[in-house]
Amino acid sequence: MEIRPTTDKDLDVFVDTLHAAFGLFPETPVEGGGLWWSALETDRCLLALTEDGRPVGTAATHSFELTLPGGTLVPAPGVTAVGVLPSHRRQGVLSAMMRHQLAELRASGEFLSVLLASEATIYGRFGYGPATCTAQLTVPRHRAAFAAPRARAAADAPAADASAAGSDNGSVEVLRRAECGEILEEVYDRYRRAQPGSLSRPHRWWALRAGQPPISPAPRYIAVHRDADGVPDGYASYSIESGTLTVDETIATDDAVFTALARFVLGHDLVTEVVFKHVLPDHPLRRQLADFRAGEVSGLMDWLWVRLLDVPRALTARGWFMDGELVLDIDDPFLGEHDRYLLTVRDGKADCVPTDRDPDLSLDIRDLGSVYLGGTAPSTLVRAGHVRAHRPGAAALADALFRAERPPHCLHWF
Name the site residues for ligand COA (rule: CB under 6 A).
21-22, 82-84, 89-95, 117-119, 121-122, 125
Identity of the residue, 52 or 356, whose beta carbon is nearer to ligand COA in the bound complex: 52
Distance of CA 391 to the CA centre of its chain: 32
The radius of gyration computed from the CA coordinates of the chain, to the nearest angstrom, equals: 23
Identity of the residue, 16 or 291, whose beta carbon is nearer to ligand COA in the bound complex: 16
Distance CA 84, CA 119 (A): 14
Identity of the residue, 122 or 335, whose beta carbon is nearer to ligand COA in the bound complex: 122
Q: Bridge partners of 140?
A: 273
Instruction: Provide, rounded to whole angstroms, the least separation between the CB of residue 212 and ligand COA.
Output: 15
Identity of the residue, 115 or 218, whose beta carbon is nearer to ligand COA in the bound complex: 115
For every residue of 335-381, DSSP letters joined together read TTEEEEEEEEEETTEEEEEE--SPPSEEEEHHHHHHHHTSSS-HHHH
**Count of beta carbons in the 10 Å neighbourhood of residue 242:** 5
Distance of CA 284 to the CA centre of its chain: 19
Instruction: Provide, rounded to whole angstroms, the least separation between the CB of residue 116 and ligand COA.
Output: 7
Which of these, 105, 133, 130, 96, lies nearest to 283 by C-alpha position? 133
Residue 120, C-beta contacts closer than 8 angstroms, at least 6 positions apart: 130, 302
Strands 305-308 and 388-389: unpaired
Instruction: Provide, rounded to whole angstroms, the least separation between the CB of residue 35 and ligand COA.
Output: 17
Instruction: Provide, rounded to whole angstroms, the least separation between the CB of residue 79 and ligand COA.
Output: 8
Instruction: Provide, rounded to whole angstroms, the least separation between the CB of residue 99 and ligand COA.
Output: 10
Distance CA 315, CA 351 (A): 8
Identity of the residue, 84 or 345, whose beta carbon is nearer to ligand COA in the bound complex: 84
Identity of the residue, 93 or 311, whose beta carbon is nearer to ligand COA in the bound complex: 93
Instruction: Provide, rounded to whole angstroms, the least separation between the CB of residue 411 and ligand COA.
Output: 17
Identity of the residue, 113 or 259, whose beta carbon is nearer to ligand COA in the bound complex: 113
Instruction: Provide, rounded to whole angstroms, the least separation between the CB of residue 153 and ligand COA.
Output: 48
Instruction: Provide, rounded to whole angstroms, the least separation between the CB of residue 240 and ligand COA.
Output: 31
Residue 364, C-beta contacts closer than 8 angstroms, at least 6 positions apart: 127, 330, 331, 332, 333, 386, 387
Distance CA 85, CA 97 (A): 13
Identity of the residue, 87 or 242, whose beta carbon is nearer to ligand COA in the bound complex: 87
Distance CA 406, CA 403 (A): 8
> CB of 202 within 8 A of CB of 246?
no
Instruction: Provide, rounded to whole angstroms, the least separation between the CB of residue 11 and ligand COA.
Output: 19
Distance CA 172, CA 191 (A): 17
Identity of the residue, 84 or 361, whose beta carbon is nearer to ligand COA in the bound complex: 84
Instruction: Provide, rounded to whole angstroms, the least separation between the CB of residue 4 and ligand COA.
Output: 17
Question: DSSP label at 196?
Answer: T
Which of these, 247, 300, 251, 294, lies nearest to 274 by C-alpha position? 247
Identity of the residue, 21 or 365, whose beta carbon is nearer to ligand COA in the bound complex: 21
